[in-house]
Amino acid sequence: MTQWLTPEEWQVVGLSLRVALWATLASLPVGLAVAWLLARKRFWGHALLNGVVHLPLIMPPVVTGYLLLILFGRRGFFGELLAEIGIVFAFRWTGAALACAVMGFPLMVRAMRLSIEAVDRRLEAAAGTLGANPVMVFLTVTLPLILPGVLAGAILGFAKAMGEFGATITFVSNIPGETRTLPTAIYTYLNVPGGDAGAIRLTLISVALSLAALLVSEGLARRAARHVGGV
Amino acid sequence: MHRRRILAWLLAALLLAPVSPAFAQSNEVLVFAAASLKTALDDIAKQWRAETGKTAKVSYAGSSALARQIEQGAPADLFISADSDWMNDLAGKNLIKPATRADLLGNRIVLVAAKDDKTALKIAPGFDLAGALGNNRLAMANVDAVPAGKYGKAALESLGVWPSVSAKVAQADDVRAALLLVSRGEAPFGIVYATDAAADPGVRVVDAFPADSHPPIIYPGAVLASSKTPDAEAFLAHLRSAQAKPLFERQGFSVLD
């Protein structure tokens, strides 16, 4: 099976999986916190936060990538600060992961927020009257109930990260082994006469990975829902 | 009910109207040109329009990307590549009119840095580019396909420096994108054409690569086989004329005859 793809192409697949995994893991806690805030709390700036969270969904990806470049590039405001403590995003896979995390964030937050809003608050209240403190209520009642939504959001973010192109190539460009993810590699093949074979190979891998992610997501969501439903 | 019917018909009419062949066959010349030609060719197209009233529309990108688009059937009239390889590729597929092919221009490649960077580096066999880069990147066009990247890699290979810097290269889609990386300070050094360095006040030339360290840089131009515009040959002739020559030389190109 290893001869289906060249070693460089396997490297591309591995890099894509690594970038997407880290992007999802890093944005999971932040996404959950923001979704909780938007679902449960009312405060001044609620609509503004909601708008900002959804920005990467509606702005052209190249614009998002350009903003990341200005803020986190070598000469960027945050980029310079973070470089002093050793965190570098420019031209590195960490930058690709950041771009993917930002682009997948709105999808993740939407899915999680929906499931948080769907929780029957009376169940939480009942747990409270039976003696559970807020943390226990969250862990034993709320979390199992929102798990399907959280998982769906995570998988959605992962799938978006696997397919992210515009923001990634604008922010960290196209460096083999470092930022040349699956979509970027396909794009590179398409820019050279005779690159069709390689492009098709990588496209098939891309489709297979996306389908696998969706099937796993569906399976997990159904299992969690069954578990929660008490069956 | 009657009003809704009228509204439905109106909507249908509006949607179907543009389908009629309202667009006249334009006599514009569509030129696919290497990205490094942007400044010069924009001026020359303006000059041609002022002289003859005819319009040349130019699309700039890496020569490899343009060659690919032409292969896929892009409706271009003229192709100006930054190296002979891509022109030969199209000629081999019978996509150009061979009688119209001509070598138009020459160029040089240089090492550039941001304009306020004070590094002095002399290009010689085995020079320490890797040391000067440190943990940062060397901005170049794609080294496998885009001419500027290919020339740059060939030069670094012949100077014995390529193995030490190949892992530090940030490859861009075309030479102007590589220029931008240096201009913005994202990459401390880059390899671009001498003409690109002249076109961007945000970079300064550190040193020029010896002409014998890479294959000669030649820009061939040809009319494409699928072109139906007689003005395409007229524009190509204008590019080789005495009026266009100073506009090319002003940017630093050498005009071949």
Shared domain for B164 and B231, answered yes or no, is no
Is 70 exceeded by the pLDDT of residue B123? Answer: yes
Residue A81 domain flag:
no
Residue A80 domain flag:
no
Residue B19 domain flag:
no
3-class DSSP string for chain A = CHHHCCHHHHHHHHHHHHHHHHHHHHHHHHHHHHHHHHHHCCCCCHHHHHHHHHHHHHCCHHHHHHHHHHHHCCCCHHHHHHHHCCCCCCCCHHHHHHHHHHHHHHHHHHHHHHHHHCCCHHHHHHHHHCCCCHHHHHHHHHHHHHHHHHHHHHHHHHHHHHHCCHHHHHHHCCCCCCCCCHHHHHHHHHCCCCCHHHHHHHHHHHHHHHHHHHHHHHHHHHHHHHHHCCC
* Interchain CB distance below 8 Å, A91 and B137: yes
Shared domain for B207 and B125, answered yes or no, is yes
The tally of domains found in chain A comes to 1
Shared domain for B100 and B116, answered yes or no, is no
User: pLDDT, tens digit, for every residue of B161-175?
Assistant: 999 999 999 998 889
Residue B243 domain flag:
yes
Shared domain for B113 and B87, answered yes or no, is no
The residue among A161, A184, A60, A21 whose CA lies nearest residue A105 is A161
User: A-chain residues within 8 Å CB-CB of B186?
Assistant: 69, 73-75, 90-91
User: A-chain residues within 8 Å CB-CB of B81?
Assistant: none
In the predicted model, what is the mean pLDDT of residues A185-200?
A: 88
Mutate to test the interface with B, among A74, A92, A179 (most CBs of B within 10 A): A74
Shared domain for B132 and B195, answered yes or no, is yes
* Interchain CB distance below 8 Å, A74 and B68: no
- Cβ atoms of B255 and B105 within 8 Å: the answer is yes
Q: Which of A44-48, A174-178, B145-149 has the lowest mean pLDDT?
A: A174-178
Residue B92 domain flag:
yes
In the predicted model, what is the mean pLDDT of residues A41-50?
A: 93
The tally of domains found in chain B comes to 2
Residue B159 domain flag:
yes
Kindly indicate the confidence band of residue B119, based on its pLDDT and cuts at 50, 70 and 90: confident
Q: What is the CATH number of the domain that holds A200?
A: 1.10.3720.10
Shared domain for B184 and B225, answered yes or no, is no
Residue B242 domain flag:
yes
* Interchain CB distance below 8 Å, B68 and A173: no
Shared domain for B166 and B249, answered yes or no, is no
Residue A73 domain flag:
no
* Interchain CB distance below 8 Å, B186 and A74: yes
Residue A214 domain flag:
yes
Q: What is the pLDDT of residue B22?
A: 43
In the predicted model, what is the mean pLDDT of residues A58-63?
A: 94
Q: What is the CATH number of the domain that holds B93?
A: 3.40.190.10
The complex scores an ipTM of: 0.76
Residue A211 domain flag:
yes
**Residue range(s) defining the domain that contains residue A189:** 7-61+92-228
User: pLDDT, tens digit, for every residue of B46-98?
Assistant: 999 999 999 999 999 999 999 999 998 999 999 999 999 999 999 999 999 99
In the predicted model, what is the mean pLDDT of residues A184-189?
A: 92
Residues of A with CB under 8 A from a CB of B: 69, 73-75, 90-91, 173-176, 188, 190-193, 195
Residues 6+ apart with CB under 8 A from B58: B31, B32, B33, B37, B38, B41, B42, B45
Shared domain for B134 and B202, answered yes or no, is yes
Q: Which of A75, A176, A191 sits opposite B62 (nearest CB)?
A: A191
C-alpha A23/C-alpha B122 separation (Å) is 42
Write phi, then psi, for A195 (nearest 5 degrees): -90, 5
Residue A31 domain flag:
yes
Residue A172, Cα to own-chain centre: how many angstroms? 17
For residue B85, the chain A residue with the least C-alpha distance is A193
**Residue range(s) defining the domain that contains residue B121:** 109-213
Shared domain for B144 and B61, answered yes or no, is no
Shared domain for B199 and B242, answered yes or no, is no
In the predicted model, what is the mean pLDDT of residues A74-79?
A: 88
* Interchain CB distance below 8 Å, A193 and B89: yes
Shared domain for B45 and B171, answered yes or no, is no
Q: Which of A73, A91, A191 sits opposite B64 (nearest CB)?
A: A191
Shared domain for B59 and B185, answered yes or no, is no
pTM of the model: 0.82
* Interchain CB distance below 8 Å, B68 and A190: yes
C-alpha B153/C-alpha B142 separation (Å) is 10
Size of interface A-B (CB pairs under 8 A): 48
User: pLDDT, tens digit, for every residue of A8-35?
Assistant: 889 999 999 999 999 999 999 999 999 9
